[in-house]
Amino acid sequence: DTAVSQTPKYLVTQMGNDKSIKCEQNLGHDTMYWYKQDSKKFLKIMFSYNNKELIINETVPNRFSPKSPDKAHLNLHINSLELGDSAVYFCASSQDPYNEQFFGPGTRLTVL
Amino acid sequence: AQSVTQLGSHVSVSEGALVLLRCNYSSSVPPYLFWYVQYPNQGLQLLLKYTSAATLVKGINGFEAEFKKSETSFHLTKPSAHMSDAAEYFCAVGPDKLNFGTGTRLQVFP
């Protein structure tokens, strides 16, 4: 059983489009995260939700909007995609904000 | 603010040799420290974590790390490298918002 899953695994799209990435965890965790890994492998947190409430919102363009319909899901919607949004996006979850985080396999987004 | 610095973006060792990956942290509060490994085209997997218990932390796959407050370090070691250890290794400081280092690519030569 996959603990943290993301769909799709690959996403290729044109500039200006709107796209979503979905994340689900079956670990019963209360906290979920989105990270962005750029082409140089640098990982940076974007958002974090605890019990469906936003607790971390880094300086991310407001074209990025996370949505947590329930504790097991945290989706990422991106409007008006730009070339610079090309990256690998990782979802993660943890029991609470003070425990280790479990990462999903990543979604490689390519904006043409 | 909390941060980590990984010294050396690439480390190459021979199979069977000692692996040493360096990480120094900066934190105004007692840190939670983590090492993660990323294999090609995969997500991150937790190797080990330090959360103010024992200073010598043992992880999976024979890795361990020692928390040294006086040196603000949390270096990752493994006595004998295997070919399967070749991957990208990330040090991170938390809790909650993990701040990652820039990663160290480990190459293992036969």
A32-61 pLDDT, tens digit each = 999 999 998 899 999 999 888 888 888 789
Q: Tokens representing B37? A: 């490994």
* Residue A100 touches chain B, beta carbons under 8 Å: yes
Contact status, residue A88 vs residue A107, Cβ threshold 8 Å: yes
- How many residues are present in chain A? 112
The pLDDT tens digits of the residues spanning B72-109 come to: 999 999 999 999 999 999 999 987 788 999 999 999 99
Cβ neighbours of B99 in A, within 8 Å: 45
Contact status, residue B74 vs residue B3, Cβ threshold 8 Å: no
Sequence-distant (6+) residues with CB within 8 A of A10 are A107, A108, A110
Distance from C-alpha of B6 to C-alpha of A85, rounded to nearest angstrom: 25
User: Closest-CA residue in chain A for B91?
Assistant: A43
Q: Tokens representing A46? A: 């974007």
Nearest 5°: phi and psi at A38? -85, -175
Distance from C-alpha of A17 to C-alpha of B65, rounded to nearest angstrom: 45
The greatest distance separating any two alpha carbons of chain B, rounded to the nearest whole angstrom, comes to 42
Q: What is the pLDDT of residue A81?
A: 97
- Geometric angle at alpha carbon A90, from A87 and A95, rounded to 5°: 160
Q: Is the pLDDT of residue B28 over 90?
A: no
Cβ neighbours of B6 in A, within 8 Å: none
Q: Tokens representing A63? A: 């074209």
Q: Do B88 and A41 touch (CB under 8 A)?
A: yes
| B3 closest CA partner among B97, B105, B106 | B97
The pLDDT tens digits of the residues spanning A53-96 come to: 888 888 789 999 999 999 999 999 999 999 999 999 999 999 98
Cβ neighbours of A41 in B, within 8 Å: 38, 88, 102-103
| A5 closest CA partner among A36, A32, A30 | A32
Q: What is the pLDDT of residue A1?
A: 65
